Amino acid sequence: SATTRSPRVGEVDGVNYHFLTKEEFKQRIAEDDFLEHAEVYGNYYGTPKSSVEKMLDEGKNVILEIDIQGALKVKEKATDGVFIFILPPSMEELKQRIIKRGSETPESLMTRFKSA
């Protein structure tokens, strides 16, 4: 996956995500480089087509960890895929997981919790 958000503590470019500037991300959108992409809470996230195609060409099964918005876009293109939606045990657990990351401002926490 690629994103324009800043890396969290311990995240490595090319391992956890491909961290791009907004300009780089928009250029890749213009080049139709993403299987799916979206703007979420002011940052862009997307799945590069080339990464998925490479794994499929190697005969591998591909697992994408994406939100429902991205999954619906992928489903339009990959009609033979298997889609599994996994929820957290509870909304309270989801809130605690997000808070525990320590990467959100109080304002962004409120925005996330309102839309969850």
Are residues 98 and 109 in contact, defined by beta-carbon separation less than 8 angstroms?
Answer: yes
Alpha-carbon separation of residue 51 from 2, 46, 98 (angstroms): 10, 11, 27
Higher pLDDT, residue 75 or 101: 75
How far apart are alpha carbons 46 and 95 in whole angstroms?
24
CATH 3.30.63.10, the chain: domain bounds: 2-81
- Please give the Cα distance from 82 to 11 (Å, whole number): 28
Task: Report pLDDT for 97.
Answer: 87
pTM over 0.85: no
Nearest alpha-carbon partner for 78 in 98, 44, 49? 49
**2-81 CATH, one of 3.50.50.60, 3.30.63.10, 1.10.150.120, 3.40.228.10:** 3.30.63.10
Give the pLDDT band of residue 116 (cuts 50, 70, 90): low
Say which residue the tokens 């090319």 belong to.
14
What integer pLDDT is reported at residue 108 of this predicted model? 82
**Structure confidence by residue, pLDDT tens digits, 41-76:** 899 999 999 999 999 999 999 999 998 889 999 999
Question: What percentage of the chain carries pLDDT values higher than 90?
Answer: 66
Q: Which residue from 26, 24, 30, 1 is spatially nearest to 13, judged by alpha carbons?
A: 1
